[in-house]
Structure 1
């Protein structure tokens, strides 16, 4: 997938700033361990770190085309799945290629179609293109925001990178978090599209380009969900879903590097494994990978998002498909030791052991594969999470995954509560999201309610999942592909009514029927169960002891943000979470917040 970084300054000579652009680029080394380079001109500097997947021996970046007065330079992260078809079309239009890489296809597509080239790309991507002829920097991001891209404007210039750390490596950017950023730190999956926690830092929004010229910066939306009547019956819809899945998986199997698939034993990952294993071009058994915790048979406790252990279902899929399987067994007490690693991967406080367990899985998978499939997006487009079936007929006031969350402000210190009201902020952000929903004239109240549910799911909760998956995989130099996030599949499912998605009165009933012939019945009908997490008593005790130490440390920056009584009550309680959908446990996140404020030298200015 790779990592990109860059700097534009209309007044400064950036050819004298090589150490800084190299430092920005070096922060992306985990994203691109295979190769790296920088390119500079007077006013623009581009950096690139490469994870070689397509055309391993070619495709070096930054990639240039044209002579000195009219060159175009590209730094690109991602995969263009229809690059072969685009290359053939571009050759027919007179474009000449030097490599077999998808990066060059993007560069030539820009030379041919300009900014409009982005509408022709099928895939996941984040890129920067400097056009010397137009004196223009173009940033672009894929439709669902699978690949990240951050930027920060300042008077006379702009910094950008695949992760915040690339921008933070430039001394022009000061790490400050204000009230809006603190909402994103304390609340899970309520971030507004484009926000990025640090003051002055922005994300290129999914489905947008950002064009920077001496006259200013302009955002342009090139893709959005469009609401329309769904006219196909259930049988035709089921057949269409199967057809789309087969097409998407076939396209995304292309790789010049070792390939595998994550397997949880749930419906989503199992479907991808089944379709990949059936590929006639495969060179051997599909390699699959699962994760479990030592002693999970005795430690596992079911809750609203964790219904059953994965292991028995994984075994059933492996036996059915004949995959070459590796089970990664984690030691839960060791999770606390790696939280610093995952913090540095995300550049913001994450979700504790949920991040660490995913990172450790990817570390092991990377020993065997460079590219893997994963099932993110399926629950978001088919309605697989439990809150879809628990939806109230009344208009929602908050995000559906927040059911059971009480007073969010209770964890905040009195001083911080004077500047920050988390409860009101979440309600306002939910209201903002509903104002964005593309409505359908004449839709019933129930249909309108479900459309709102899917919209907030796709624009608030799914980005949280994709961000976590991207950071943990890229910290391991592993490319994770998410076929369910293909925009054609998302567009089609957007207008399929809930009555069809919930066929058989089971969540994701439509998907289950579409793939029923591919998997064992017990897997096809398994209820949604979330990613496993550490429930080992030693780990829970270690986290509680860590928070006690933090509360006793007068130099702790996070201590000033929390209500000490509330945290001590959590430390002394036997409960670890409230047993509902969210939020993830507070205590490990409190430790991460403290480490973040210290290590990143964050200035808190609410």
Structure 2
């Protein structure tokens, strides 16, 4: 796991001192993504930077890594992530005559491109099973490939320039180059306030993300996008028992693959079905006693108040699973004051590079990862199980399913929009923007085939599942990557294995809810591994802090902001509407959206052009 960046300029030799300094500055922004090593490579129009978190082949996996031909670099790679099937690929490539100098997966990716990607890079990338974002410079062709994994687990941004491109794992790497402007226009503000509607572009003008499952080819003529993977209809014909068995086989295989590491590894354990099943599988396949880690808040279990999406506290279930499975368990307990510490909020904002965060949910996750990093370098997480198997309550609520827009709730953001200046709100036309993005996403949904295609509910649930996997899930994966890598922790997400995603996505909704519950297939496939209390537990979301101290601190800070006419966010807000909202609702988590936008505009020195 690493941070990558670079600069291509087809009209300049980037070996001059000024360019070298800028590349060094770009690389330095990602020191926390790669605390173990750094490296740069420059030749003519190409300059590549790398920060390394050493996980596999600690000694031999240094980057940038080159593949030599005739004594000269033919391919140069900066790579972030993991290729879980690299051992199998290495054997295949060795049988074809390739020779390796290291035992790293990075070198395997290099040779895969040389063997299978000469004519079509999509062929080489399609061989990889993993989470990755990388840049490959072909010295002979004078072209750069920017590659991102199928689900978008690892981030990769690019910024076209007059004579080439800037790229980086995070926007901050690109912004360290003087060619990149720190400008947020109306579209950037729309993406901020409707974050899941278009997760494929940055909030900065001119900056884009490489789409999941895509390659961006950069040549002197410009940039070209190529798709090497997308969700398709599989024509699923397996009955329910066969489907359950296949899900179990795929889970066992992907967990075994993702336990490969030359550093300490653990699991994130919430006491829910997703993380508990992963922990139980990891404990079966790991040769040592697996470590597990859980989040808790001071007094949370004792003073817990049930909510619509959080009916039970995690603590008792966590302890039961840890004992049942036999993990070496650690609870990370946080307080409201820790979440509101200025350096924690600043570090969280800096990690995400976004003018929108989830407030205490982000701060607590950042602190959890920072604490885990004291014990482990790699952690397995249950992210995407809810999106894949239908775990959220709104999957099963006709009012959400049948609504003619994105089906997930966005309460905090909806209220935050009401704080906007009325003239600005009219200009942004957020309802129109959301509808445009929704229609665009619907047009991508692969048609349902087979007997299920005659059922209107099956057809709608195919649309909902596609929207969730391609619009909602990327925001969660980005959040988890940024907040974990901010502490140099690699988080792996086995439920994002593309083989599992392809299989379950193609499964009829009636199979996914065969027992009339959420996550029916996952529950049935892993029930034998877990205590019955966890098997029967109703989905409970990532826990928000319930200490009233936190809300009081938010109200105080927001009131101060409303009284500051020189605040960066002031031109965007209606003070009167904001005060009225603050008085009218007890749920003020929407305040986090406004406070984060203020911090972002100030700390990143962003120019607003709206």
TM-score band w.r.t. shorter chain: over 0.9
In structure 2, relative to structure 1, the CA distance for the partners of 1:70 and 1:99 (3 Å cut) is closer
Aligned to 2:534: 523
In structure 2, relative to structure 1, the CA distance for the partners of 1:394 and 1:297 (3 Å cut) is closer
In structure 2, relative to structure 1, the CA distance for the partners of 1:419 and 1:228 (3 Å cut) is same
Aligned to 1:328: 332
1:254-293 counterparts in 2 under 5 A? Answer: 254-279=260-285, 281-282=286-287, 284-293=288-297
Aligned to 1:48: 50
1:236, 1:355 → 2: CA distance? 39
In structure 2, relative to structure 1, the CA distance for the partners of 1:454 and 1:316 (3 Å cut) is same
1:393, 1:70 → 2: CA distance? 54
Give the Å deviation of 1:305. Answer: 2.2
1:318-376 per-position Cα deviation (integer Å, ceiling 9, x unaligned): 11011110000001122122111110001112111111000000000000000000000
Q: How many pairs does the alignment contain?
A: 596
Q: Does 1:439 align with 2:443?
A: no
1:74-106 per-position Cα deviation (integer Å, ceiling 9, x unaligned): 000000000000001111111110000000000
2:3, 2:434 → 1: CA distance? 32
1:228, 1:339 → 2: CA distance? 44
Give the Å deviation of 1:519. Answer: 0.2
Q: Does 1:379 align with 2:372?
A: no
Instruction: Give secondary structure in 1 for the equivalent of 2:201.
Output: coil
Question: Runs of 5+ in structure 1 lacking a partner?
Answer: 578-584
2:420 aligned to which of 404, 408, 412: 412
2:259 aligned to which of 253, 258, 281: 253
1:87 aligned to which of 76, 87, 90: 90
Cα RMSD, aligned residues only: 1.5
Aligned to 2:543: 532
Aligned to 1:505: 516
In structure 2, relative to structure 1, the CA distance for the partners of 1:327 and 1:404 (3 Å cut) is closer
Aligned to 2:112: 109
Aligned to 1:315: 319
Question: Runs of 5+ in structure 2 lacking a partner?
Answer: none
Aligned to 1:294: 298
Give the Å deviation of 1:423. Answer: 2.0
TM-score, normalization by structure 1:
0.96
1:520-564 per-position Cα deviation (integer Å, ceiling 9, x unaligned): 011011111111112211111111111111111121011221221
Give the Å deviation of 1:123. Answer: 0.3
In structure 2, relative to structure 1, the CA distance for the partners of 1:107 and 1:393 (3 Å cut) is closer
In structure 2, relative to structure 1, the CA distance for the partners of 1:68 and 1:12 (3 Å cut) is farther
1:453, 1:8 → 2: CA distance? 39
Give the Å deviation of 1:229. Answer: 2.4
TM-score, normalization by structure 2:
0.95
1:407-556 counterparts in 2 under 5 A? Answer: 409-441=417-449, 442-556=453-567
Aligned to 1:230: 236
Instruction: Give secondary structure in 2 for the equivalent of 1:212.
Output: strand
- Contact 2:416–2:594 under 8 Å retained in 1: no
Instruction: Give secondary structure in 1 for the equivalent of 2:49.
Output: strand
Aligned to 1:580: none
Aligned to 2:100: 97
1:588 aligned to which of 586, 592, 599: 592
1:404, 1:555 → 2: CA distance? 28
In structure 2, relative to structure 1, the CA distance for the partners of 1:275 and 1:320 (3 Å cut) is same
2:553, 2:410 → 1: CA distance? 28
In structure 2, relative to structure 1, the CA distance for the partners of 1:186 and 1:393 (3 Å cut) is closer
Give the Å deviation of 1:71. Answer: 2.0
- Contact 1:409–1:421 under 8 Å retained in 2: no
Aligned to 1:241: 247
1:180-221 per-position Cα deviation (integer Å, ceiling 9, x unaligned): 2112212342224x2111110000000000111122211100
- Contact 1:393–1:449 under 8 Å retained in 2: no
Instruction: Give secondary structure in 1 for the equivalent of 2:573.
Output: coil
Instruction: Give secondary structure in 1 for the equivalent of 2:32.
Output: coil
Q: Does 1:604 align with 2:608?
A: yes
2:196 aligned to which of 172, 189, 192: 189
Instruction: Give secondary structure in 1 for the equivalent of 2:204.
Output: coil
1:290, 1:403 → 2: CA distance? 26
Aligned to 2:9: 9
Of 430-439 and 401-410, deviating more is 401-410
